Amino acid sequence: MPGPIQSLSRAAAIMRLLAGGERRLGLSEVATALDLAKGTAHGILRTLQQEGFVEQDPESGKYQLGAELLRLGQSYLDVHELRARALVWADDLARASGETVYLGVLHQRGVLIVHHVFRPDDTRQVLEVGSMQPLHSTALGKVLLAYDPVARGELGEGPFESYTPRTLTEAADVDAEAALTRERGWADAVEETWEGVASIGALIQDRRRNPVGAVCISGAVERVCEDGFVKPSLVASVRSAARAISRDLGAGRF
């Protein structure tokens, strides 16, 4: 198997670097961070700029991600079959549960949100499509870990990052949680990534029964939980939506 094309891999690394914390970087910073010669980094940045994937601030000379990524990202969503088939079911789930609904797929070492239905109320909400969630501490992530061996491989060994006092950080605990998820067919995450937030997620499969994603509801602990546990009626709603989406993707009757 031949290796990757070096300049493409380097370009991808530059774009990922620009997507990271600092977000605007100079030529020399990019070259140093990726251990490239300045002429090399410049050649790649110049071409990425010509193609719209990178922009350069004319005043500071700093580089940042470009608009073509947004456009192609939207095109990715347009053609995403799972998302297309889930749209209506996700709306229904938001209405039935009164909570925010997320649709996520495994991407690199986390869960990529590909669809987001706002909670049907008047509160201000921020669209999460395109953002990543951790695998070990979210309902979506736990579902993918339970059913997708690739996800488990991506997670690696612990200890994992602790976001709240309730986050599971040991691999053994995360694996036990995955076994529980498989046993009962759904996952929950109560204040494990964000304080005050609880979620319930379930698996989506394609017509070959391969895991292709997960759907979840997410909301305030006070609404999602009762007597210390997530509400069974919400669990039922999430699982029902997951089954409906799976059927639309061609998975047979369960």
Partner DNA sequence: CACTGCGGTCGACATTGTCGACCGCCTGTC
Partner DNA sequence: GACAGGCGGTCGACAATGTCGACCGCAGTG
Residue ranges in contact with DNA by CB under 7 A: 1-2, 5-8, 10, 26-29, 36-40, 42-46, 56, 61-62
Q: Quote the least distance from Cβ 73 to its own copies, whole Å.
A: 3
Binding test (CB under 8 A) with its own copies, winner from 38, 70, 229, 254? 70
Q: Does 37 bind its own copies (CB under 8 A)?
A: no
Q: Cβ closer to its own copies: 107 or 184?
A: 107
User: Length of the chain in residues, anyone?
Assistant: 254
The partner in contact with residue 26, picked from its own copies, DNA, none with C-beta cut-offs of 5 to 8 angstroms by kind, is: DNA
**Cα–Cα dist 218/240, whole Å:** 16
**Cα–Cα dist 133/94, whole Å:** 20
Q: Does 109 bind its own copies (CB under 8 A)?
A: no
Binding test (CB under 8 A) with its own copies, winner from 61, 73, 159, 250? 73
Binding test (CB under 8 A) with its own copies, winner from 28, 32, 46, 161? 46
Can you tell me which residue has the tokens 């895991």? 211
Long-range contacts of 59-63 (CB under 8 A, 24+ apart): 60/24, 60/26, 61/26, 61/27, 62/24, 62/25, 62/26, 63/18, 63/24, 63/25, 63/26, 63/27, 63/30
Q: Does 179 bind its own copies (CB under 8 A)?
A: no
Q: Quote the least distance from Cβ 144 to its own copies, whole Å.
A: 13
Q: Does 90 bind its own copies (CB under 8 A)?
A: no
The values of phi and psi at residue 46, to 5°, are -60, -45
